[in-house]
Amino acid sequence: MNWFIHTIGSSIGKKLLMAITGLGFCGFLAVHLAGNLTIYGGKASFNSYSEHLHALEPLVTIAEWGLLTFAVVHVLTGAVLFYQNLKARPVRYSVNKSAGGRSLGSRTMPYTGILLLAFVIFHLINFHFADRTVTTIYAIVSGAFKHPAYVVVYIIAVAIAAVHVSHGFWSAFQTIGANHPKYMPLVRTIGTVFSLMVGIGFGAIPVYLFIFV
């Protein structure tokens, strides 16, 4: 198994880890968003979604540990890559100018990443680890978004997530070598559409709860 450790420790191996875990998170975001849409059905609909989801135990716990493992791999590998990339150019240029290759997403990946990590921790403490013995998830969520500060924090956070995904999605395909003249334009379009869906889809929920509930 020595060859395997060497492989994932190489520059391309580390990128492969980022790509696989990143695509995993894209899948998670899609499922999470689909589930969250039940909140537009009202209190009963959202609580019922939550109950049905947790009726799938132990699958939910397994998925949670899987996501945690992915997160640890994604964050640690990302941190190593960021550090190595900084070290690869010890003396910086006095003038930096893009030739048009970089995007808002690509140039901010490490920074949006660290902000997302902070947000995920905040988000889990808020909703995931909240005491649900005496209250329902709908009450917790709708209660939280009565505060404008929460709404603003969540909108900023999902905007950051959208920017991160806008580069991450197509970049993951490029890294795993799936760059094909026929499909790459489609992958890039899906990446853009998906990042907009993440931004608008998750961002609309706090606004909806704040205004209408």
Partner 1 sequence: MTKAINLTLKVWRQKGPEDKGRLETYDAKDISTNMSFLEMLDVINEQLTLAGKEPIAFDHDCREGICGMCGAVVNGRPHGPEKGTTLCQLHMRHFSDRDTIFIEPWRSRAFKIIKDLVVDRGALDRLIQAGGYISANTGGAPDANAIPVPQASAELAFDAAACIGCGACVAACPNASAMLFVGAKVSHLVLLPQGEPEAAQRATAMVREMDSLGFGNCSNERECEAECPKEISITNIARLNREYFKSRFFSNVK
- With binding defined as CB under 8 A, does residue 189 bind partner 1? no
Distance from C-alpha of 123 to C-alpha of 112, rounded to nearest angstrom: 16
**Quick one: which of 61, 69, 135, 179 contacts partner 1 (CB under 8 A)?**
179
Distance from C-alpha of 160 to C-alpha of 115, rounded to nearest angstrom: 8
Tokens of 138: 């709908």
Binding mask 115-154 for partner 1 (x = CB under 8 A): ----------------------------------------
Distance from C-alpha of 171 to C-alpha of 2, rounded to nearest angstrom: 28
- With binding defined as CB under 8 A, does residue 104 bind partner 1? no
- With binding defined as CB under 8 A, does residue 182 bind partner 1? no
Residues 32 to 51 in contact with partner 1, rule: CB under 8 A = none
Q: Which is nearer to partner 1, 69 or 84 (CB)?
A: 84
SS3 content of the chain, % helix, strand, coil (to 5): 80, 0, 20
Residues 141 and 206 sit within 8 Å (Cβ to Cβ): no
- Binding residues vs partner 1 (CB under 8 A): 3, 7, 10-16, 81, 84-85, 87-102, 106-107, 109, 167, 170-171, 174-179, 181, 184
